[in-house]
Amino acid sequence: MSNSDIKLNFINHSNDTNNSSIVIFQQNVAESFGEIAVAWRVIQNCGRLDSHPFTYPMQFQVSAKDSYGNYTPQLTAVDGQAYEMVKDTSGDVLSIASTPASSSSEIEVRNSLQQGAIDACCFRNGKLLATKTNIAPGQKAVFQFHPRIYIGVVSQITESQIMDSAIIQTINTELNLFGISSADIIMTGGGPGPGSSPFEFNLANINTQ
């Protein structure tokens, strides 16, 4: 699997007249599926025949937030590596742990503080991708992402917002990006009145790595 970025271009070929927003998110496959997810990208005001290019980097970053509201710098996540929040002479810092993650395909964020819960945050392309909150001292968060995105039509959702299972269950389009270097994401369907068809999202003009 290449570590290069995947170039994607969303194109609105739908008959939507409600100026719907499009949400794109991923699932942390190391956790139970479908409980919560973060709105990684929200495409707004993309009119008919408009396009919205964006990039999906293969690599993602991790950061931690302590109980004082401090965020650590983002560290590039490496499969099989563990990161731990520790207290040093400067305060709370996130560093690479001395022992690796228990699975070579996952990354771990451990709370090695004596006191105070932390939040573990994953970012892709600088945007919040996933989070696990209230990790108590001695506990850890585990993250793994497959090169798949979920996409759907939503209302009143903003980027970085945590979506609950009720919202997630309405979004059932999964696009597999494995082996792709670039592709268009074509949205079709929609339209006014009871005769409108459901929205569909399909990959087109696919280039492989």
CA 74 to chain CA centroid, Å, is 15
Q: Please check whether residue 30 is in contact with residue 106, taking contact to mean a CB–CB distance below 8 angstroms.
A: yes
* pLDDT (tens digit per residue) in 117-152: 999 999 999 999 999 999 999 999 999 999 999 999
Q: Please check whether residue 64 is in contact with residue 116, taking contact to mean a CB–CB distance below 8 angstroms.
A: no
Q: Is 116 helix (H, G, I), strand (E, B) or coil?
A: coil
Q: Is 166 helix (H, G, I), strand (E, B) or coil?
A: helix
* pLDDT (tens digit per residue) in 59-92: 999 999 999 999 999 999 999 999 999 999 999 9
Q: Please check whether residue 158 is in contact with residue 130, taking contact to mean a CB–CB distance below 8 angstroms.
A: no
Q: Which residue segments constitute the domains of the chain, with CATH numbers given?
A: 6-58+147-208 (2.60.40), 61-143 (no CATH)
Whole-model pTM? 0.93
Q: Given a cut of 70, is residue 33 above it in pLDDT?
A: no
User: Residue 30 has which token pair?
Assistant: 């190391």
User: What is the overall mean pLDDT for the chain?
Assistant: 94
